[in-house]
Structure 1
Amino acid sequence: MRNEVAIVTGASSGIGREIAIQLSRRGYDVVLVARRLDRLEQLAKELPTKSKIIVADLEDLEDCYSLYEQTKQLNCTILINSAGFGAFGSYTEIPLEKELSMIDVNIKSVHVLTKLFLANFKKRNKGYILNVSSVAGVMPAGPYMAAYYASKAYVTSLSSAVSQELAEEKSDVYVGSLCPGPVNTEFNQVAGAAFSLKSIDARTCAVYGVNQMFKKNSLIIPGASIKAAAILAKIAPRKLVIKIAGQQQKKKQG
């Protein structure tokens, strides 16, 4: 791999897969990271640039560190943290093990990989880190997906804070979060729910997210209606926003 390299976690499906395609079409060699080897091999055949496959379960912190060690010598200038999943249901009914796994993937892996790669990017004063969050990450809370909303709030908050630090340091390195609303992916199948709102397709989300990343927009929210909802969530009473979010979640059918 001699060209600039983009690392994409969660590349086997959904938004991660589509972002990998978009970056490859822009000329980046791509490191594809996920648990499912067959999916990654199929994607690699479709890409116009070189690719490297790394099978990893980012729930395991050792796999996070291993990913960094395997790629730190590459000419990596982009990291996309897209691996993640959700769980739908009452807080008391969702198995604790599933929530802890979600925290490991949605929070710990994002934190570790952002921290490790950012250090390299800062040394060269060049690089992009895009953390795939959710519009849930800009809402105050999400009843019936409590842990998921909380995990995405962490991702959005972390990304925004680091982005501000970089701005104050006058660094050219970018860190931002992609916060889509419902996207037509495998997410709800894994979460055990169905969309209660109109969704967009993963390609549309990826194209918009990549374009806004290169414009260095630190908070990326695809879709006018979702942007409006995010703005409303900031100005409306917190208790009311949480109540509405809970009502929307209850419309989902497992």
Structure 2
Amino acid sequence: MKAIVTGASSGLGRDMALYLAELGYDLALVARNQARLDTVAQEAQRIAAAHGNKTITIETVTLDLSQRHACEQLFEQYRNERIDLLVNNAGFGLFGDFTDTPLDRELDMINLNVVSYHILTKLFVRKFKNDGHCRLLNVCSAAGLLVGPRLATYYATKNYTLKLTLAVAQELRRDHVPVTVSALCPGPVETRFNATAGGKFLTPGASSRAVARYAIDKTLAGKLIIVPTWQVKAGLFAARFLPWSAQLRIMDRFDAGR
């Protein structure tokens, strides 16, 4: 079995890669920072060996997936290999009012959070349909089910990837294709997200390791929408009954950490 994990150098990507190594998967780890990828690869090898999986192979691939050609390059590198699982995880956020946040940074976010997911989902799902019995996990967010003042562009990107994932999953299910597509929708997670985004949420983040393990287990079970914690599940359920005006006010405070 082999899995590709993007954004594997830190956070959820790192922790999902380590759990997959524990499960005995060969790995292709993708990110921009080669030194961090090497560190994750070494840790994954140690974990695999500790769990009796001494023969797994780990490859590192240094790419900036915000560039279209890098997404296509990643696919070309693995198009003729059996890939059992693709984890689309690379992404980032940006705190700040929409009129204040830099346009170039937002366009980089759209390219990474939306365009790369779109390209890789399309290319690999086409491949998976031919290969059969493969799985794809798009790391979306609870943000994909909400609206986010002070994180407007980030929430918009996650709405896109979530809705894309759901639609593709239904097309595969309708046509009885033995491929599953899943959407991970966590709330805040203890990663480098806040430092990169330049802000914070009102509530502390969930354990990255716990969310990663939960996400992989549910993906391998074929679950469509994966929400890791009861707090986020309860919040999303309650949001269904709120008018947009109330939801916007609540999220404005939540995303500002006030």
Hey, what does 2:109 align to over in structure 1? Answer: 102
| CA deviation after TM superposition for structure 1 residue 238, in Å | 2.0
1:159: which partner in 2? 165
How far did 1:125 drift?
2.1
The match for 1:87 is 94
**Per-residue Cα deviation, 1:136-169 (whole angstroms, up to 9, x for no partner):** 1111x10000000000011111111111111111
User: Cα distance, 1:74 vs. partner?
Assistant: 1.7
Alignment correspondent of 2:51? none
Q: What pairs with 1:70-219 in structure 2 (closer than 5 Å)?
A: 70-139=77-146, 141-219=147-225
Q: Do the aligned partners of 1:89 and 1:145 also contact (CA within 8 Å) in 2? A: yes
Tell me the residue number matched to 2:28. 31
**Structure 1 unaligned residues grouped into runs of 5+:** none
* Structure 1 residue ranges (4+ consecutive) displaced by more than 2 angstroms after TM superposition: none
One-letter code aligned to 2:216: V
| Pairwise CA distance, 1:71 | 1.2
Contact map agreement 1:5 1:74 (CA 8 A) in 2: no
Q: Does 2:40 match 1:43?
A: yes
C-alpha separation in 2, matches of 1:239 and 1:126: 43
C-alpha distance in structure 1 between counterparts of 2:241 and 2:200, whole Å: 28
Compute the displacement of 1:239 (Å).
2.1
Separation in 1, partners of 2:77, 2:257: 44
For residues 115 and 151 of structure 1, the distance between their equivalents in structure 2, rounded to whole angstroms, comes to 17
Q: Which whole-Å CA distance do the structure 2 matches of 1:232 and 1:123 have between them?
A: 41
Shift of 1:236: 1.8
Per the TM alignment, residue 247 of structure 1 is displaced from its structure 2 partner at its CA by 1.6
* 3-state SS, counterpart of residue 177 of structure 1: strand
Q: Which stretch shows the higher mean deviation, 157-166 or 7-16?
A: 157-166
Distance 1:73 1:129 in 2: 17
Give the distance between the partners of 2:232 and 2:187, measured in 1 at CA: 6
Q: Provide the C-alpha distance between the structure 1 equivalents of 2:28 and 2:245, rounded to a whole number of angstroms.
A: 43
Aligned residues: 248
2:84 aligns to what SS in structure 1?
A: strand
Letter in 2 for 1:120: K
Identity %: 40
2:13 equivalent to 1:13? no
C-alpha displacement at 1:234, in angstroms?
2.0
